[in-house]
Chains A and B, each alone.
Chain A
Amino acid sequence: MNSDRREFLKFAVGGAALSAVGAAVLPGDSVAEAAPAKSQHRWGMVIDLRKCIGCEACSVACSMENDVPLGEFRTIVSTYEIDTGGQARRATLPRLCNHCENPPCVEVCPTQATYKRDDGIVVIDNTICIGCGYCVQACPYDARFINPETHTADKCNFCVQRVDEGLLPACVETCVGGARIFGDLNDPDSEVSRLLQEYPTEVLKPEMGTDPRVYYIGLSDYLQAKVDGMPVPWSKEEILEGMTDGSAN
């Protein structure tokens, strides 16, 4: 694990240096302009569901790192109770932007405010986004929302600000069970590549043809597409009301 992280940091520091040069040469502060001109990397994530305990530390770390407004999430661990013939078990499913190879959100964006970088990370330039919401509709994974503070589309960007500096995404860094593994899919020696070779992996909604770059180990068929079942017994509105009333505790 440690050697992999050192490998990761070695590559990422190189990328950060490139991006720093890019940022110095190119004016402006948008994500697009800060991205390396041509990346050798193809970032991806493997989520080992056998190790996920559903603690939501990743959701909290993400919200803290990216200043995600209350009530919205760039990543969340959906949690289910699955009852098979009287035997109930708990299943967790961390959800986030899948940074698809063929992202439908990028296709429909009318101003090209959302785009895929050379390293595969799908980002939004919120200085360009007009807030039409078309990308939110097009995403099959419910990974996007309109940020009520910036009034633009928002979603997970693999903590691009950290990755470009040679760090891991906040959710990966904080994951207590080590269920989230981030790395370079182009590097055959990276941990993500090794996991993809060693274990059978699944992606969400493969029928959509989006070719996600977030892979799951141990994903149940029942959770792979839209989940059919009984809904969560409480609503977001009720929880938010409780928080603002101070009655949540």
Chain B
Amino acid sequence: MDPQIRGIIGITHDVLWGVGDVYYMFAIGASAAALLLAILFYAAGVKRLQRVAPVGLIVASALGFAAPLSLIANLYQSGRFYSLFFRTHLSSSPMSWGAIILTLYILTLVIMDVMVYTHTKGGQIAQPFPLIGAIAGFFAVAVIIYTGIEISAVRAIAMWHSALVPVLFLLASVISAVSLVVILGWIDRRIKKEEEKGFLGTLLFWTLLIDILLQFIWLIVFIMFGGRSVINIRQSVFQQHASSFLLVGFLLTVVLPAIILILPSLRRSWGSLLVASVLATVGAWVLRWNLVVTGQEMPKTAIDFNRYTLALTGHDSVLNLVGNIALVIFFVIVLEWILEMAEFEGELGKDRVSRQQGERVVDGGVAR
């Protein structure tokens, strides 16, 4: 007979990696996967993605430039972040690899932006640039993988230490990237054709299906075979965070959008595609939240759960998150303007060019 144990003196720890870290993993994953979408056109020359690619590049660049700032802000000694580059620990620390990979990823992102900007002529890119694209693609995949490995390498946290985690991160990255490209493509009206919407809808649908399967396996493994943490994991999944894990994290944001996109005709309709994309974006966020924050709430030695308190201001706070999202929006506006993607995507480009020319004539008239 197992004894009943009651804690009399003990401590619980505060959750360390909170909303800022979840946001970083979400944003950098979406950035990298969006770049992979863009590369399919800019490097591999897939013509059907001609209008999707610029949106992908804007999503990738805006999130890719802003997200690392959230990561730096979330260090408790932010001013020392540069030491990651000269005090490396590449033999065993995924975070040390990450510092190098992330830097090279951002560098290739900048090069991609410059290449697209300089190679755009009369509504088309002069020629694809496969070498740069391949290098950028390599670092994009590396970024997604390193964030997953960084989490799964931690043996001490039962919910993290799984080979499925990097795969789940990869799927969530693709889901959030496709969804954000759909949303931005609708906002800036670049994505119009049925074929483009159909491609994105189909990609989202199949990725969600694989995600359903893997999330199911992941949950079953931990609920049934979570070792000494199994009691806490069941408490968390079925009681404390049941809405976050099962209702929001699985049914509403993974299963439901997949159901919405089940018919090919619905994948080409803006209404259903947008609803599914918004839900799937939330799902990609919630997966990271459930893994990273709820994973840390699992006690390692103590009886009771660790606690996470979402702060409004200060370190790892809502204000930090809002600030970084504002920066993303700023980058989107600037990139839309600088890259002038519309120039090489035909109809809309012509509209814009003629509108700009009309405005110049009017301005000229005023000046005279």
Give chain A residues whose Cβ lies under 8 Å from the Cβ of B300.
Answer: 139-142, 226
Q: Tell me if A28 is interfacial: C-beta within 8 Å of chain B.
A: no
Question: Does B153 contact A142, Cβ atoms closer than 8 Å?
Answer: no
Interface string of A130-147 (1 = CB under 8 A from B): 111110111111100110
Q: Tell me if A208 is interfacial: C-beta within 8 Å of chain B.
A: yes
- Contacts known (A132-B95, A140-B300); A151 close to B76, Cβ less than 8 A: yes
Q: Tell me if B242 is interfacial: C-beta within 8 Å of chain A.
A: no
Question: Does A56 contact B4, Cβ atoms closer than 8 Å?
Answer: no
Give chain A residues whose Cβ lies under 8 Å from the Cβ of B5.
Answer: 80-83, 222, 227-230
Interface string of A106-120 (1 = CB under 8 A from B): 011111110000000
Question: Does B87 contact A84, Cβ atoms closer than 8 Å?
Answer: no
Number of residue pairs spanning A and B whose beta carbons lie under 8 angstroms apart: 178
Select the stretch in B10-18, B57-65, B172-180, B201-209 that faces chain A. B10-18
- Contacts known (A104-B156, A129-B77); A230 close to B229, Cβ less than 8 A: no
Select the stretch in B41-49, B78-86, B111-119 that faces chain A. B78-86
Question: Does A236 contact B95, Cβ atoms closer than 8 Å?
Answer: no
In the complex the two chains form, what is the Cα distance from A226 to B78 in whole Å? Answer: 33
Task: Count how many chain B residues have C-beta atoms less than 8 Å from C-beta atoms of the other chain.
Answer: 53
Name the residue of chain A whose CB is nearest to the CB of B83. Answer: A111
Interface string of A173-211 (1 = CB under 8 A from B): 000000000000000000000000000000010001000
Give chain A residues whose Cβ lies under 8 Å from the Cβ of B296.
Answer: 137
In the complex the two chains form, what is the Cα distance from A222 to B132 in whole Å? Answer: 57
Give chain A residues whose Cβ lies under 8 Å from the Cβ of B80.
Answer: 111, 128-131
In the complex the two chains form, what is the Cα distance from A176 to B4 in whole Å? Answer: 29
In the complex the two chains form, what is the Cα distance from A77 to B84 in whole Å? Answer: 36
Within residues 100 to 123 of chain B, which ones have a CB less than 8 A from any CB in chain A? none
In the complex the two chains form, what is the Cα distance from A209 to B99 in whole Å? Answer: 28
Question: Does A142 contact B6, Cβ atoms closer than 8 Å?
Answer: no
In the complex the two chains form, what is the Cα distance from A137 to B87 in whole Å? Answer: 20
Taking beta carbons and an 8 Å cutoff, which residues of A are in contact with B?
A: 54, 56, 73, 76-85, 90, 95, 104, 107-113, 128-134, 136-142, 145-146, 151-152, 204, 208, 222, 225-232, 235-236
